[in-house]
Amino acid sequence: MTAQPPSPEPKERSEYSIGDLAREFDVTPRAIRFYEDQGLLAPRREGQRRIYLPRDRARLKLTLRGKRLGLTLSEIRELIDMYEPGRDERPQLARFLAVLEQHKALLEQQRADLEAQLSEITAFEKRIRKQLGTQRRRRS
């Protein structure tokens, strides 16, 4: 049995329909239209038909990545809008780092709050189980 060579990356197309992008990124057309309404995507129009360019595809990919990181749409839009091919990307990277650090600090605080709540719940559970055990022995 011979190993198959890896399949080549799909060739980047010059145009995409809303359905193409929805299938590729496993999102609904409604979500894509929402991102368009939020200024993250700007497809070309031919009548009622939306035509997305590789730039829109890249912006959608970055938007979805930002959402997975927990960034807000306004943060995502700010970061994407800062990017211009051929220009120094250090300002964009510095801003991205600042947003990530801020978001990480918020998540760490939320985790600490959750751990404190879980600890308190565990303590109440122990007290209640102890009281229930004491009451059962009294009844016996």
pLDDT per residue over 26-77, tens digit each? 999 999 999 999 999 999 999 999 999 999 999 999 999 999 999 999 999 9
Per-residue tokens: 121: 């719940």
Tell me which long-range contacts 62-65 makes (C-beta under 8 A, separation of at least 24): 63/35, 64/25, 64/27
Give whichever of 29-38, 79-88, 93-102 has the largest mean pLDDT. 29-38
Average pLDDT over residues 11-38: 93
Q: What fold, for 13-71?
A: Multidrug-efflux Transporter Regulator; Chain: A; Domain 2 (1.10.1660)
Average pLDDT over residues 73-91: 84
Domain ranges of the chain: 13-71, 83-140
d(CA 23, CA 37): 20
The better pLDDT of the pair 132, 138 is held by 132
Q: Is residue 7 pLDDT above 50, yes or no? A: no
Question: What is the reported pLDDT for 10?
Answer: 52
Q: Is residue 113 pLDDT above 60, yes or no? A: yes
Q: Which residues contact 62 (CB under 8 A, 6 or more apart)?
A: 76, 79, 80
Q: Is residue 8 pLDDT above 60, yes or no? A: no
Matching residue, tokens 């939306």: 50
Question: What is the reported pLDDT for 66?
Answer: 93
